[in-house]
Structure 1
Amino acid sequence: MSRSAIRLTSWLAAILVVVALGGMWLKSAKPDRPIDLLARSVKSGNLSVDYSIGQALSDVKRLSLNTVNVPVIVKIDDLDSSTMSLDPDSILKARKLMKELREKGITMIVEPYPWIGGGQFYETDWNPSDVEAFFDNWTNIVKELLEQVVVPEGAAAVCVASNLVHLEHRKDRWSRLIDEVRGEFDGLVTYKTNWWYTADWDDESKQAFERKLNNPIFGKVDFISIASYFELSDRPVNTVDQLKADLLKSSAYSRGQNIVGEIERLHEKWNKPIFLGELGFPKRQYAARHPWNPNPSERYDGAEQARGFEAYRQSFDQPWFMGFSVFAIGEDGEDKNYYPSEESAEVIRNW
């Protein structure tokens, strides 16, 4: 081989080494593109805001989950506040957990979680006094979350808001926010609406559902998320068959609400997959009457919680159903009434 050929071969080898090293650096600097949530049946868990990383990882294994909904705390003073800030400790903990989840092949959804008055108020009651200032500030919060957590840690989706019932009607501002998110994030975008009720004897409830159904926010997202605390039954204890019947015609307050049918209408209206982004029951009797209440009674009943999950599992075997997220995992203290019982864990593993 001539000297020029040898030099050329050496140069080519050097270039290949540089390219290979560069590729390794890029791989370490930026996560692989996340799994497309829409291409799988999503079996997720919502983390309690006070989760521990060890317990979160243990619960993923215990429940055979393939996805985790990671909350990042947004600190808010009170229910009429229009200003807010991301909690730096929550950011650091989320990033640490997400690195471990990514290594295990677990898909991640990230959401900004309103932490109002140190956690003493519910986001469903948040009604900012200056709505325009709220949207300006909330948009900045979501963008900051994208920059600091969602993109660098390879989340598959971001939930731009959850359960903000007093603000959901602001279609123009939500649409603008979603457009801005898409300009900075090539993953999936969703919005989580709160549960609702309709009653045969209540025309206003039916009109409220029609307003929700026709809200164009749901046409802007990649999939529709629902916090699914629907009131099913007035009975302290139920069979699975009773709860399945209640999902088609709720007996709670004699409403007769067809919950599955109304959710299907939401899918048909916007042609979007449906994700039960929060699905939980307290481990108590009367869990099906007020699933949103962690203490509907003082009587423990892990089997009643499990029957709630089983009724949803059987009722939502639908082609438009994308999956569910169990509320809540990551902390199993005595006050965690939503943490899945052993009976519930068996249902969830087999879903």
Structure 2
Amino acid sequence: MFKVLSVHLTSHKLKYIALVSLMISAILVKEVLIDVVYIGKQYEKNRIITPWGEKIKSGNLSVDYSLEQALIDIEALGLNTVNVPVQIDIPSLTANSATINTESKKKATQLIKKLRYQGINVILEPYPYIKNGELYETQLNPDDKDEWFRNWKEGVLKPLIQDIAKPYKVYALCIGSNFDKFEKEYALWNDVANFVRTNYQGRITYKTNWWYTAEWDTEKNGLHDTYTAKLNNPVLEKVDFISVAAYFELTDQDTNTVENLVSSIYSTKIFSRHQNIYEELKKLSTQWNKPIFFGELGFPKRNKAMVHPWNPEPSTILNEQEQANGFQAYKEVFEKESWNLGLSVFAIGKNDEFKNYYPSDQSINVINSWYK
């Protein structure tokens, strides 16, 4: 009798446990569905659809951004996407190692969680931080390329895919940024792109640095070869869109009108190069049948900002309007081009006396007017 009662009670317990498990599962499924619907609605809300297609309106966060300032800037600039960096520590310009900074990764994850619920898209970028930020990735040239690429794939991209890109469904992953010195390692970069495609089903991009050409150039000088190499870079066939860090040198003047800058985009004035930046970007897009995205578009708030846009302090003279004129010129030339996917403003997320690229009030007004 006791054995029968024991079995009977156990049966009831099992049914009860099964019922509770079913209820918990139903609640979890409901929460996931609500989450998906909410995020979907927010994404639809923040998409920018124009007569020329969908556009990305993004901002690059400084590596030392704060969560609070980032959210303020996203709202102020009317962004639908944010380029979120994860600091990658590299000890020297010839080092073969690359290590994810734990605190930077943690901060990026915190921010991305917040952005998901606001419907803001994320471009995830492993950001090369060389010798504590003292040196530039454009000068990085590892001694052992095979070893560096192995570390980049296994030690950087793979963990970022597994821990951030996949679980938080980022809009795109940038597989490399401004590595001028070894961009021509085509086979190794193709291997990186194939590795990412195998492990990640989302969008991928590669960010190439600005270049210059000159009508008086000869093959011996080698200036034109930089652009030719980009046109023939097979990794660009493997990405969903081509990112360009657009620090093109436009003029040799301290200050410029918008009209002068627009003219200079079609024919640069500096050193009488007469580089047609518009046509070269369009040709790059046509070559690979991929849209061009200004993965970094920024100008220092200084005189001579259009002489050397890549220099955070080309002059000691503050000039916020010169910065705004740069954004306005690019807007007038590229906003309506269907092959141009959009822009990412460099740089937001922290504003102090050292942040010469942080957009001025005049620039914020211009940036807000894009795609309106």
Letter in 2 for 1:154: K
Which residue does 2:13 correspond to in 1? none
Q: Match of 1:179, SS? A: helix
Deviation at 1:207, TM superposition (A): 2.8
1:176 and 1:346 mapped to 2: Cα distance?
42
Deviation at 1:21, TM superposition (A): 2.5
More divergent stretch after superposition (217-226 vs 172-181) = 172-181
Written as runs of structure 1 = structure 2, the 5 A alignment for 1:160-199 is 160-199=175-214
Deviations 1:300-322 (A, max 9, x none): 01100000000000110211110
Written as runs of structure 1 = structure 2, the 5 A alignment for 1:1-351 is 17=23, 20-24=26-30, 26=32, 40-140=54-154, 141-203=156-218, 204-316=222-334, 317-351=336-370
Structure 1 or 2, whichever has the larger Rg, is 2
Deviation at 1:154, TM superposition (A): 2.1
Deviation at 1:131, TM superposition (A): 0.5
Q: Match of 1:40, SS? A: strand
CA contact (8 A) 2:204 2:239 kept: yes
Letter in 2 for 1:52: S
1:279 and 1:96 mapped to 2: Cα distance?
25
Indicate how the Cα distance of structure 1 residues 29 and 319 shifts in structure 2: closer, same or farther if over 3 A, else same: closer
1:249 and 1:282 mapped to 2: Cα distance?
21
Q: Match of 1:118, SS? A: coil
Q: Match of 1:305, SS? A: helix
Which residue does 2:15 correspond to in 1? none
2:167 and 2:61 mapped to 1: Cα distance?
20
Deviations 1:281-305 (A, max 9, x none): 0000100000000000000011000
1:344 and 1:54 mapped to 2: Cα distance?
21
Q: Match of 1:41, SS? A: strand
RMSD, aligned α-carbons: 2.3
2:225 and 2:122 mapped to 1: Cα distance?
35
Deviation at 1:267, TM superposition (A): 0.5
1:148 and 1:290 mapped to 2: Cα distance?
38
CA contact (8 A) 1:32 1:154 kept: no
CA contact (8 A) 1:55 1:331 kept: yes
Deviation at 1:278, TM superposition (A): 0.2
Deviation at 1:106, TM superposition (A): 0.4
More divergent stretch after superposition (254-263 vs 146-155) = 146-155
Q: Which runs of 5+ in 2 are unaligned?
A: 1-18
CA contact (8 A) 2:300 2:312 kept: yes
2:182 and 2:153 mapped to 1: Cα distance?
14
More divergent stretch after superposition (219-228 vs 26-35) = 26-35
TM-score, scaled relative to structure 1: 0.92
Deviation at 1:167, TM superposition (A): 1.5
Q: Match of 2:59, SS? A: strand
Letter in 2 for 1:253: F
Which residue does 2:3 correspond to in 1? none
Letter in 1 for 2:169: G
Q: Match of 1:153, SS? A: coil
2:82 and 2:197 mapped to 1: Cα distance?
21
Task: Give the total of aligned pairs.
Answer: 341
TM-score, scaled relative to structure 2: 0.87
1:319 and 1:154 mapped to 2: Cα distance?
26
Identity %: 45
Q: Which runs of 5+ in 1 are unaligned?
A: 1-12
Deviation at 1:253, TM superposition (A): 1.3
Letter in 2 for 1:79: L
Deviation at 1:190, TM superposition (A): 0.2
1:45 and 1:102 mapped to 2: Cα distance?
16
2:54 and 2:229 mapped to 1: Cα distance?
31
Letter in 2 for 1:219: E
More divergent stretch after superposition (105-114 vs 23-32) = 23-32
2:29 and 2:58 mapped to 1: Cα distance?
32
Deviations 1:136-181 (A, max 9, x none): 0001111111112222222110000100011111111111111111
Q: Match of 1:234, SS? A: coil
Deviation at 1:186, TM superposition (A): 1.5
